[in-house]
Chains A and B, each alone.
Chain A
Amino acid sequence: MAEPVLLAQGLFKRFGGLVATDNLSLDVWPGELHALIGPNGAGKTTLIGLLTGEIRPDTGRILFLGQDVSRLSVAARARRGLVRSFQIVQLLDDDTAEANVALAVQTHAGHSFRFWRRAGSDPALLDPARALLRQVGLGQARWDTRVGDLSHGERKVLELAMALAASPRLLLLDEPMAGLGTAESLAMTETLRALKGRIPMLVIEHDMEAVFSLADRITVLVYGRAIASGSAAAIRADPAVQEAYLAEETG
């Protein structure tokens, strides 16, 4: 029998008096797009922190590809293929879009203790970087633009390209649609749909339309607890979810 790509068991995290993650278990299976939704303050960001290693859980453990990664650093987890994107984009603003992605490609092409050859004109880095920029749909005219001068939508797209360049075996996407316009949101949905099936994904998202159209499975997080998990239809029908979340959303 196949095993899940990611298996989090009994995660518990308390910040002072606030329980941010309350005995949470979660799994992502090969080829699956698993969406995580929940009202503000449900503990989604904390969960991403726990999974990537930026935050250490009080109890619980995280298995990635069958191995316990609970004690590994952020970088060590990323090297194994547990790669995230950021809700608030984290890019090298002084560099061009192309140089950003090329650097991410570089970090997965062996160590970087290479002091002499020019990295900026190395086709071994630039070719994969350009392919990724095409894949996420950043117009070629913008590749040479300083990232700090790109629009928010372009930066979100680049954020995804950075994650893809890091050879992910699981993508943790933290609100990939946040702040995007309608057209940009649709384009991002299509980009993710094209990736779906090839790379398993755990997506945190507020855009319900995107979530319901993309996700194989949806887990609803409220007060750090998973109150429901199932298909889009099952989640829509779940009375507990409606009470806790959808009701609030629809006003």
Chain B
Amino acid sequence: MLERVVLVVLLLGAILLPFGAEAVGLPATTGIATQIVCLAIAAASLNLLIGHGGLVSFGHAAYFGLGAYVVGILWEHFRLGEPLLGFIPGSNQLLVTLPLAMLVAGLAAAAIGALSLRTSGVQFIMITLAFAQMVFFLFVGLQQYGGDDGLVVRRRNLVPGLDLRDAMQMYWLCLGLLVAWLLVLARIVGSRFGRVLEGVRQNERRMAAIGVSTYAYKLVAFILSGVGCGLAGALMANYLRFVSPEMMSWQRSGELMVMVILGGVGTALGPVLGAAGLVGLEYTLGGLTEHWQFFLGPILLAVVLYARGGLMGLLGYGRRHG
């Protein structure tokens, strides 16, 4: 009951945040919050894999970036008025770009996951990283879409009934999708599928002994987390009105992992806290000193060493037991 109250208060606070930001004369906060929300969607998706499946992917920025590029490339073709590959018309409609971003990211995750999941442990970490680097360099080489420099999306996508040029509406859209995605993930984690995934994380040998061929379950989890990252990337591309290969660099993959660990592996709200924590630290430390990363390191180290459950653990909400 108390948890429900806390959640409702948190949600209300998040909804009202733009007004508060205006009131205290820091309207830019809404923009930062939008970035946090987008990254939280990606981190929550990665958490399904790391926190619940025990599958440490070091390449999830690839799906984030692919989602972003779907928005960017469709915008580019919309702007030029020439169809992609001669038959796919460009688009500036969010209801087209968003599902397509999720589809493309999901397909890429299916292909990369199908190969990567034949390995495990450190090998799995390295192969997911290697595939992400391949995607990264593919986009660096795509001169048609700006190569290294990326693509500018001059106008945010259109949605019936909303004006995304308005910072608050953009924020609320992202927040709404984050809440919806967290609810979907919570259902998945508690479902029969989620139980099998949890079994894979805790003891894969046991799962085989009771007759579960784990590969297909791991692959579906990999695809789901890729889809979520695609959604996050597409929203981020809209927010930034810019996409570039940098969004899928290995540093970005590492940041997503840091968010999951910082917030609390295997918890529902941990990735959100992790995203808020990391972005918040970047902005506050970045405001204090140019060498903010020098101070970020020890802080992360302290959290990992002294708060095993991340920020959620510090708050007394560790990993739930089934």
> Which residues of A are in contact with B by a Cβ distance under 8 Å?
52, 73-76, 78-79, 83-84, 86, 90-96, 99, 102-104, 106-108, 112-120, 122, 146, 162-163, 165-166
B321 proximal to A (CB < 8 A):
yes
Binds A, one of B1-9, B146-154, B198-206: B198-206
CA distance A83 to B209 in the complex (A): 7
Please name all residues of chain B whose beta carbon is closer than 8 Å to the beta carbon of A115 when the two chains form the complex. Answer: 187-188, 191, 193-194
Please name all residues of chain B whose beta carbon is closer than 8 Å to the beta carbon of A119 when the two chains form the complex. Answer: 190-192, 194-195
Q: Bin the interface of chain B by size.
A: 20 to 34
Q: Quick one: which of A103, A114, A117, A146 has the most chain B CB within 10 A?
A: A103
Please name all residues of chain B whose beta carbon is closer than 8 Å to the beta carbon of A117 when the two chains form the complex. Answer: 191-192
Binds A, one of B74-82, B211-219, B248-256, B290-298: B211-219
- CB within 8 Å for A116 and B187 given contacts A94-B321, A95-B322, A106-B195: yes
Per the 8 Å Cβ criterion, residues 191-243 of B in contact with A are 191-196, 198-199, 202-203, 205-214, 216-217, 220
CA distance A162 to B210 in the complex (A): 8
Please name all residues of chain A whose beta carbon is closer than 8 Å to the beta carbon of B202 when the two chains form the complex. Answer: 92-95
| Overall SS of chain B's interface | helix
- CB within 8 Å for A74 and B209 given contacts A94-B202, A94-B322: yes
Please name all residues of chain B whose beta carbon is closer than 8 Å to the beta carbon of A104 when the two chains form the complex. Answer: 210
B319 proximal to A (CB < 8 A):
yes
A96–B322 contact, CB under 8 A? yes
Q: Which of A79, A86, A113, A166 contacts B193 (CB 8 A)?
A: A113
Minimal beta-carbon separation of A10 from chain B (angstroms): 25
Q: Which of B188, B206, B217, B321 contacts A146 (CB 8 A)?
A: B321
CA distance A146 to B202 in the complex (A): 13
> Which residues of B are in contact with A by a Cβ distance under 8 Å?
187-188, 190-196, 198-199, 202-203, 205-214, 216-217, 220, 319, 321-322
B211–A166 contact, CB under 8 A? yes
Minimal beta-carbon separation of A184 from chain B (angstroms): 22
CA distance A116 to B205 in the complex (A): 26
CA distance A104 to B205 in the complex (A): 13
- CB within 8 Å for A113 and B220 given contacts A92-B203, A94-B322: yes
B203–A99 contact, CB under 8 A? no
Please name all residues of chain A whose beta carbon is closer than 8 Å to the beta carbon of B214 when the two chains form the complex. Answer: 75
- CB within 8 Å for A96 and B321 given contacts A52-B209, A73-B213, A112-B196: yes
Minimal beta-carbon separation of B309 from chain A (angstroms): 12
B192–A114 contact, CB under 8 A? yes
B196–A107 contact, CB under 8 A? yes
CA distance A73 to B209 in the complex (A): 10
Please name all residues of chain B whose beta carbon is closer than 8 Å to the beta carbon of A84 when the two chains form the complex. Answer: 209
Question: Looking across the interface, which residue of chain B has its beta carbon closest to that of A98?
Answer: B322
B195–A79 contact, CB under 8 A? no
